[in-house]
Structure 1
């Protein structure tokens, strides 16, 4: 599969810096990613679309383990390059392709068995819009994968919600309410794999060593002050708020 020329789109540079050593850009662990692939009962040759594919770990490992083919779309040239290297490393570059472009509005020319947006539902303006976008690429009887946060316990105030990097309490739902919302959209929830606090630790804490190494190598960079402030504040913020209040999961949906 060939790759396309990179258009001039990107995520904010600070995220490229903080997560440059991540293979998975969300709180799911490699073990749980493997659990999800097995739970979906993927068949060899099944075609998967991943909007917001990051560094490509989902498509690459599922191509290796289950023989799927796939296309990943991501705005970050750093992560897209990492995804292409990972495909080469795992020997699946002939089965998966990673395109550097904005996933918002992207529709596959070929209908897919699984259409996924795992942790980037902003591309569709939220869960509802992202599901609608994914259905446009999905074959009849296919599976939609949505990765989305939820409240493990309801924060007592908007200030606590903001400590979790939400804008307000209304940004996320409790897990039962999130599951019920899929039903109201006309979908059955047919599988789910939830992150746990260890997964959150690996996602968040892994940033801190990356940041520290980056600061040592780039003391005069224009972002050094902002990155240093992140390293100073993030461990306490994370332990106080996100780790206690915010859950995260991947939900498999099929139209009723």
Structure 2
């Protein structure tokens, strides 16, 4: 059970595996007014930056669960480097079926709602671990502008124009599921640039060092096509944000 190797190669230099800067992550932590001792469950926790930095800055405790062995080891190393390994733990496992042993104050899935088959399923999964009155965090893409055709949708990594909603539609979906949106922090185009362009440098350096690897041809094809496709489609059309929700 693990992520395909291409994912860890593509994001080998990333601490945050979403189009979100460390500054935005810190802004979100401050906006939520996290009290020391807040118990957090982070599903699909990646390299653990949310839990580790919030443990350092706000005194939260908690657990992250991720399917990647590489990212899980990085998260443990990050916790040790920041001196918070006694407050946060990282588990290698399938986040899609994970429920906390005891209710938590904050349950998060930031940028991986595939674990629940979409927003509705992920909210239902997170709610199983959340205490009454607790906070839920969901990170999700949305359309920044109307998508003109199937080619544009696919250029944004979607199967079609209906895969994502505009921002007002996504907020309306949360409401329809019975949640108030109580905070949000949105990625900028610059956040997207830093996230996506860093992938290209990671891949090029890996390719130069491993020209005979079985993944080399696919990496070369990605490096050839992705920068222009990103600039033409994704940068203009796709937004992303983290939304804090409370059940009504």
After TM superposition, the score normalised by the length of structure 2 is 0.99
Match of residue 216 from structure 1:
208
| Aligned pair partner of 1:142 in 134, 137, 160 | 134
Cα contact 1:195–1:248 (8 A) shared by 2: yes
Distance 2:144 2:157 in 1: 15
Match of residue 67 from structure 1:
59
Match of residue 24 from structure 1:
16
SS in 2 for 1:104: helix
Distance 1:94 1:219 in 2: 41
Match of residue 89 from structure 2:
97
Match of residue 107 from structure 1:
99
Match of residue 191 from structure 1:
183
Match of residue 80 from structure 1:
72
Cα contact 1:20–1:78 (8 A) shared by 2: no
Correspondence 1:1-256 to 2 at 5 A? 9-256=1-248
SS in 2 for 1:21: coil
How much has 1:238 moved relative to structure 2? 0.7
Distance 1:195 1:212 in 2: 25
Q: Which runs of 5+ in 2 are unaligned?
A: none
Distance 1:205 1:80 in 2: 23
How much has 1:179 moved relative to structure 2? 0.4
How much has 1:11 moved relative to structure 2? 1.2
SS in 1 for 2:96: coil
Distance 2:16 2:201 in 1: 16
Q: Which runs of 5+ in 1 are unaligned?
A: 1-8
After TM superposition, the score normalised by the length of structure 1 is 0.96
Match of residue 4 from structure 1:
none
Deviations 1:107-130 (A, max 9, x none): 000211100000000000000000
